[in-house]
Amino acid sequence: MTAAVSLDAVSCVFDSPRGPVRAVDRVDLTIEAGEFFTLLGPSGSGKTTCLRMIGGFTLPTSGRISIGGQDVSRLPPYARPVNTVFQDYALFPHMSIRDNVAYGLMVRGVAKAQRRTQAERLLELVRLPGVGERRPMQLSGGQRQRVALARALINEPQVLLLDEPLGALDLKLREQMQVELKALQRKLGITFLFITHDQHEALSMSDRIGVFNLGRLEQVGAPRQVYDAPATRFVAEFVGAANVLDGEAARQLAGPSCAMLRPERIRLGERADARAAGTVTETQYFGAFSRMRVDVGLAQLQVDLTDPGARAPEPGSVVHLHWDSSAVHPLAAQAGTPGAAP
């Protein structure tokens, strides 16, 4: 089987007044057909540039991009079998919703009646029937998002690129759209390449995640793999909350010279057999859990209290911390930031 998208040593260098900037640095990546793949990373990490190169809006400086086995590295966007849902939706303000959705068919010369039925079908698919006559300005943000989705799907792309599509929506709507997007992807069987800086979104929706940092892919793996066994210090800290221990603290508390311990894996307990003891310096209440900062001398540990009945100890109280040895994930000592972060 050929991969839906494959990147082969792809780099993208931009010129800036302060010299060239490597936005994407020798990235190799294979996305399987039918996969929900997420590129996760902080802003400026190169994930959007990566998507733009796949879409054809930015050409790679070097390397090869193929879609469905065909080399598309130098092709313009209109010649690529992919479509994009833009971050700002990019709906045409001077056209009706129907004309927006049918745009891809219009430019390919499909007859008007057929365009109309197709557009209606797509609007129903995104659960937005009957708005065809309206203008984008008359719809809410969530509705525009759905229109953008319908418009991108009308050409039946091999791969759908989604550039932080949920970023502008409020939390409730975002969670609802996450569920719907995932369901839609399963129903259509199209490969989704999703961009986000929100780790919850990435973990909850994706089949696989690629974590970007400073223009490089730090790790590619299933959500559980990325969360439980981060390949680098950066991944450990960016995906979820993490206590990263190194030096003396790591040797005494964890064993290896650099290790990660998730806050929810630490429990409060008796003095006997405790792995560490320390003073609570701060408590934050999140509803489903409380997060404490505990000063254990060599390090500050984040500890999550997930027990609904328990009350977090007040700052200043002394607590004893327990965890299973399986909770400790060793990290490479000098990992995380290749080329050294500025």
Partner 1 sequence: MLAVPAPGPLRRVSDLLYGRPAALLALLLVPPLLWLGVIYLGSLLALLANAFFGLDDFTGQVRREFTLANFVELLAPANVDVAVRTVTMAVLVTLACVVLGFPVAYYMARYARGPAKALLYIAVMLPLWSSYLVRLYAWKLLLAKEGAISWLFAELHLGWLLESVLALPVVGANSLSFSRLGTFIVFVYMWLPFMILPIQASIERIPASLLEASGDLGAAAGTTLRRVILPLAMPGIAAGSIFTFSLTLGDYIIPQVIGDSTLFIGQVVYRQQGVAGNLPFAAAFSLVPIAVIAAYLWLAKRLGAFDAL
Residue 114: CB minimum distance to partner 1, A: 16
Cβ neighbours of 208 (radius 10 Å):
17
Residue 135: CB minimum distance to partner 1, A: 9
Residue 88: CB minimum distance to partner 1, A: 6
**Under rule CB under 8 A, which residues in 138-177 are in contact with partner 1?**
151-152, 155
Contacts with partner 1 by CB under 8 A: the residue count is 25
List Cβ<8 Å contacts ≥24 apart for 305-311: 305/268, 306/264, 310/268
- Give the span between the Cα atoms of 54 and 75, in whole angstroms: 10
Q: What are the CA-CA distances from residue 234 to residues 157, 238, 250, 298, 336 (Å)? A: 34, 6, 17, 21, 5
60 binds partner 1 (CB under 8 A): no
**Under rule CB under 8 A, which residues in 88-127 are in contact with partner 1?**
88, 90-94, 103-104, 106-108
* Contact (CB, 8 A) for 184 and 176: no
CB nearer partner 1, residue 110 or residue 173:
110
The DSSP result for 213-260, as a single string, is ETTEEEEEE-HHHHHHS-SSHHHHHHSS--EEEEHHHHHHHTSSSEEE
Residue 239: CB minimum distance to partner 1, A: 28
57 binds partner 1 (CB under 8 A): yes
Taking the CA atoms of the chain, what radius of gyration do you get in angstroms?
Answer: 24
- Give the span between the Cα atoms of 55 and 104, in whole angstroms: 15
CB nearer partner 1, residue 107 or residue 222:
107
CB nearer partner 1, residue 19 or residue 93:
93
Contacting partner 1 (CB under 8 A), which of 24, 48, 53, 55? 55
Contacting partner 1 (CB under 8 A), which of 34, 42, 63, 77? 77
List Cβ<8 Å contacts ≥24 apart for 125-130: 125/150, 125/153, 125/184, 126/150, 126/184, 127/180
CB nearer partner 1, residue 63 or residue 81:
81
289 binds partner 1 (CB under 8 A): no
Piece in contact with partner 1 (CB under 8 A), picked from 84-92, 139-147, 169-177, 195-203: 84-92
Piece in contact with partner 1 (CB under 8 A), picked from 4-12, 87-95, 171-179, 323-331: 87-95
- Give the span between the Cα atoms of 209 and 273, in whole angstroms: 38
Residue 55: CB minimum distance to partner 1, A: 6
| Chain CA centroid to CA 67, Å | 21
Query: Which parts of this chain interact with partner 1 (CB under 8 A)?
Result: 55-57, 76-78, 82-84, 86-88, 90-94, 103-104, 106-108, 151-152, 155
